[in-house]
Amino acid sequence: MSTPTRPDLDAYWMPFTANRQFKQSPRLLTRADGMYFTDDQGRQILDGVAGLWCVNAGHNRPRIVRAIQEQAAELDFAPPFQMGHPKAFELASRLAGIAPEGMNKVFFTNSGSESVETALKIALAYHRARGEGQRTRLIGRERGYHGVNFGGMSVGGMVANRKMFGTLLAGVDHLRHTHDIVRNAFSVGLPAHGAELADDLERLVALHDASTIAAVIVEPVAGSAGVLIPPQGYLQRLREICDRHGILLIFDEVITGFGRTGQAFAAQTFGVTPDLMTVAKGLTNGCVPMGAVLAQQRIHDAFMTGPDHLIEFFHGYTYSAHPLACAAGLATLDTYAEDGLLTRAAELQGYFAEQLHALRGEPHVIDVRNLGLVGGVELSPRAGEPTRRAFETFLDCWQQGVLIRTTGDILALSPPLIAEREHLDRMIDAIRVALRRLK
């Protein structure tokens, strides 16, 4: 095989990466199409994780590529403050059109992390605008992931993402997580046990008083922390408790949005409508960075007071509603609609679950879980070396030409929604082969 010339790897400090390991044996992707990447050795790599939970329509979709190219030549940038461009309004309307009932106001950002910061700020300012400015407390959940900025890190619950960074935001508390491998191991779809864990919010209300709590933020399905599927009835119960106490409910749908769970949004899959919803990733099929916060009309309207020449919400990003991102977003929504991708996971999930759960009984496997086109396989950690088993499985799959994700000792699959059965088979087979030769 020819040895390609590689760039100098020294200067790039890579995000969420074992930099030293990577630079010793780099994994460089140079092209992508459909379900596959090509690496710099010319190998085809089956994409088991939709890039990073974002390329839901598969790679290199002609309609999206063309939209970005044409947009760059037509309007490269338009300032988003006190100005607009048509596609920003069009994309907001289109998003409202597929969103849960009543979530019809859209604030654009450039990432999931920025969406989370934005949603938390909207929640605080909403209460203040209504004369309840004492509601400042934010509640997250253990094992939650809400991006890496200070707000999201503070409400997040993954210790490695928090422990190095000081005191974080004050006035944050956390619900217990819902992962219960003792009662729920190998559940197909929603686990049966644990709806009562939502009552943990009542404990925090009793501790802090509801009048001090602005919002609760949770991922409907926790992705980054290892595919934690909510117990049956849990999200409904959380919604009821929030309503009882005037607490806003924020769903972080950065991963679950755009078809991952079988409907456009997990809110629809679960039949639970939040007050605010954060999205990113699949919004542009991963092609151009973009995120958004979707809000209920009444949240937005609470801001629309005072003289009408004044700015109502002092927040925004230079690249909010960037023309390239809006063009990509519109073409992405067209692609999802044309190919029926927002509900495709619902059609495939039965087959996916069956194949994935066949990994039960393979070496080291202590749990398998699934919903829509998200799958998690939890391994028992090697004594004294947590995370190594999963990382070695990841490297083995890579050698076999399959890209998966790991977090801790959990393997995650989230294939593009265009996946066919044979692609799902191949991903799961690669994991099986890797597990059988793993120490």
Residue 319 touches which of ligand PXG, ligand PLP, none (CB < 5 to 8 A by kind)?
ligand PLP
Alpha helices in 99-143 (DSSP H): 112-129
CB of 216 to ligand PXG, least distance (A): 14
Crossing angle (nearest 10°) for helices 200-208 and 234-245: 20
Stretch that binds ligand PLP, among 50-58, 314-322, 361-369, 429-437 (CB under 6 A): 314-322
Comparing CA positions, the residue from 52, 123, 3 lying closest to residue 413 is 52
Single-letter code of the amino acid located at 370: N
Give the length of the chain.
Answer: 439
The C-alpha atoms of residue 45 and residue 434 are separated, in whole angstroms, by 16
Alpha helices in 286-415 (DSSP H): 297-303, 323-339, 344-357, 388-399
CB of 322 to ligand PXG, least distance (A): 14
Single residue of 317, 352, 394, 398 touching ligand PLP by CB under 6 A: 317
Q: If binding means CB under 6 A, how many residues of this protein chain bind ligand PLP?
A: 3
Count of C-beta atoms within a 10 Å radius of residue 437: 10
E runs forming strands in 227-383: 248-252, 276-279, 291-295, 365-371, 374-379
Cα first-last separation, the chain: 30
Single-letter code of the amino acid located at 200: D
Burial of 186 (0-12, 13-18, 19+ CB in 10 A): middle
CB of 176 to ligand PLP, least distance (A): 34
The C-alpha atoms of residue 349 and residue 370 are separated, in whole angstroms, by 8
CB of 399 to ligand PXG, least distance (A): 20
Select the residue whose beta carbon is closest to ligand PXG and give its number. 112
Residue 426 CB contacts under 8 Å (≥ 6 apart), including other chains:
46, 402
CB of 227 to ligand PXG, least distance (A): 9
| Residue 319 binds ligand PLP (CB under 6 A) | yes
Query: Given the complex with ligand PLP, which of 256 and 320 has the nearer CB atom?
Result: 320
Provide Rg for the chain, Cα atoms. Answer: 22
Select the residue whose beta carbon is closest to ligand PLP and give its number. 318
Residue 252 touches which of ligand PLP, ligand PXG, none (CB < 5 to 8 A by kind)?
ligand PXG
Query: Given the complex with ligand PLP, which of 81 and 351 has the nearer CB atom?
Result: 81
Query: Given the complex with ligand PLP, which of 107 and 317 has the nearer CB atom?
Result: 317
Instruction: Name the one residue in this structure whose structure tokens are 């940038």.
Output: 77
Residue 280 touches which of ligand PXG, ligand PLP, none (CB < 5 to 8 A by kind)?
ligand PXG
Residue 334 CB contacts under 8 Å (≥ 6 apart), including other chains:
63
The binding site for ligand PXG (CB under 6 A) comprises: 16, 52-53, 111-113, 116, 145-147, 219, 223-224, 252, 254-255, 280, 405, 407
CB of 222 to ligand PLP, least distance (A): 27
| Residue 352 binds ligand PLP (CB under 6 A) | no
Structure tokens at 175: 């619900």
Query: Given the complex with ligand PXG, which of 349 and 407 has the nearer CB atom?
Result: 407
Query: Given the complex with ligand PLP, which of 80 and 231 has the nearer CB atom?
Result: 80
Query: Given the complex with ligand PXG, which of 57 and 411 has the nearer CB atom?
Result: 411
Which phi and psi (to 5°) does residue 204 adopt? Answer: -70, -35
Question: C-alpha angle 217/263/268, rounded to 5°?
Answer: 50
Query: Given the complex with ligand PXG, which of 129 and 145 has the nearer CB atom?
Result: 145
CB of 149 to ligand PXG, least distance (A): 8
Query: Given the complex with ligand PLP, which of 318 and 380 has the nearer CB atom?
Result: 318
Strand 405-407 to 105-109 pairing: unpaired
Residue 317 touches which of ligand PXG, ligand PLP, none (CB < 5 to 8 A by kind)?
ligand PLP
Residue 57 touches which of ligand PLP, ligand PXG, none (CB < 5 to 8 A by kind)?
none
Query: Given the complex with ligand PLP, which of 93 and 318 has the nearer CB atom?
Result: 318
| Residue 318 binds ligand PLP (CB under 6 A) | yes
Query: What residue ranges bind ligand PLP (CB under 6 A)?
Result: 317-319
